[in-house]
Amino acid sequence: MSIQWFPGHMTSARKKASETMEFIDVVIEVLDARAPEASCNPMIRELREHRQRPCLKILNKADLADPAVTQAWLNFYNQQAGVKAVALSCKSPSDAAKVPKLCQPLAPHRDNNHKPLRMMIMGIPNVGKSTLMNMLLKRRVANVGDEPAVTKSQQCHQLNERMTLTDSPGLMWPKIEHPEDGLMLAAIHAIGRNAVIEEEIAAHLANILLERYPAQLAERFGLDVAGMDGIGVVEAVAKKRGCLLKGKGGEPDLEKAAMILLTEYRAGKLGRISLETPETREAMLKQAPGIPVDTSPLNQ
């Protein structure tokens, strides 16, 4: 299944972001720690590299991701030129408070009242940009919701006398080149439900869990996962949770079971689980037909 999702307002949002990039010093790119590269918008990289802007990559929702995998991603990103990477939970006030201090060394020439440090928060939908904005300003200035594309326009605020902060709408890119990325983005709820089929997303998620986290999957749902495939897991969840279609002789309600699996994964109820590692990413790119691959850390 190839997933594409590019709501109309994102075209104007990209144009506005390109214009604003000229007047900011540091890009704060918020990623989802469970799928950092899948949630890394190539358009953002192009925009900031065109203006030669340094980047603080925040692997948000780190409390939901596998800590060992997150460390591997931090090592990967911190080898890249002009990039500093950190793992945080933007819902934590103490974590969010670290962000301005991490940005300052990336633009040391902007550190006084006459030359305030100008930062812009960017990222794909539903990775926690607005949550970070609200935490930094210590008040609710950005709408927050567990749905993609809640923020529709830019907002600029003065953080203090030496720093300004611009929030931007979640940006997707027009074409997701790798189907695997679309599936991972749907699993972490970065793509609107109108663009996906939950049963297929849940089955894909289940296949990852079977391969890398079978014990956590088995424990959460009380399953014997030996010999199962992804759709088999969804069917088993339906039976365990009593998801049956009315008037269908006990036939499992796969849509309802899929939503249970996805919702509980997103909430961290299966444990700390990452959907990709630097190694699985490299393997996926090598298998992609007809798409040039450069997996060196400095290519980004």
What digits encode the pLDDT tens for the residues 162-197? 999 998 888 888 788 899 999 999 999 998 777 688
Query: At which of 167, 199, 214 does a domain end?
Result: 167
pLDDT for 170: 81
Q: What is the pLDDT of residues 16-40, one digit of tens each?
A: 888 889 999 999 999 999 999 999 9
State whether the Cα torsion 15-12-137-28 is positive or negative: negative
The Cα–Cα gap between 257 and 52 comes to 47
Q: What are the C-alpha distances in Å from 292 to residues 42, 58, 78, 198? A: 14, 27, 23, 31
pLDDT for 257: 98
Strand order of the β-sheet with 163-167 is: 83-87, 55-60, 26-32, 117-122, 163-167, 155-160
Does residue 282 lie in a domain region?
no
Greatest CA separation for the chain: 73
Q: Are 87 and 217 members of one domain?
A: no
% of the chain residues with pLDDT over 70: 88
Q: Looking at residue 62, which CATH number applies to its domain?
A: 3.40.50.300
Q: Are 161 and 212 members of one domain?
A: no
Q: Looking at residue 203, which CATH number applies to its domain?
A: 1.10.1580.10
Taking residues 115-140, what's their average pLDDT? 91
Q: Are 157 and 195 members of one domain?
A: no
Q: What is the pTM of this model?
A: 0.87
Does residue 202 lie in a domain region?
yes
Q: What is the CA radius of gyration of the chain?
A: 20
Compute the C-alpha angle 18/19/21, nearest 5°: 65
Q: What is the pLDDT of residues 210-250, one digit of tens each?
A: 999 999 999 999 999 999 999 999 999 999 999 999 876 78
**What is the span of the domain harbouring residue 237?**
189-274
Q: Are 163 and 193 members of one domain?
A: no
Q: Are 142 and 136 in contact (CB under 8 A)?
A: no
Q: What is the pLDDT of residues 192-220, one digit of tens each?
A: 777 688 999 999 999 999 999 999 999 99
* DSSP reduced 3-state for 120: strand
Q: Are 264 and 160 members of one domain?
A: no
Q: What is the pLDDT of residues 102-120, one digit of tens each?
A: 999 999 988 777 889 999 9
Does residue 108 lie in a domain region?
yes
Residue 143: pLDDT band with limits 50, 70, 90: low
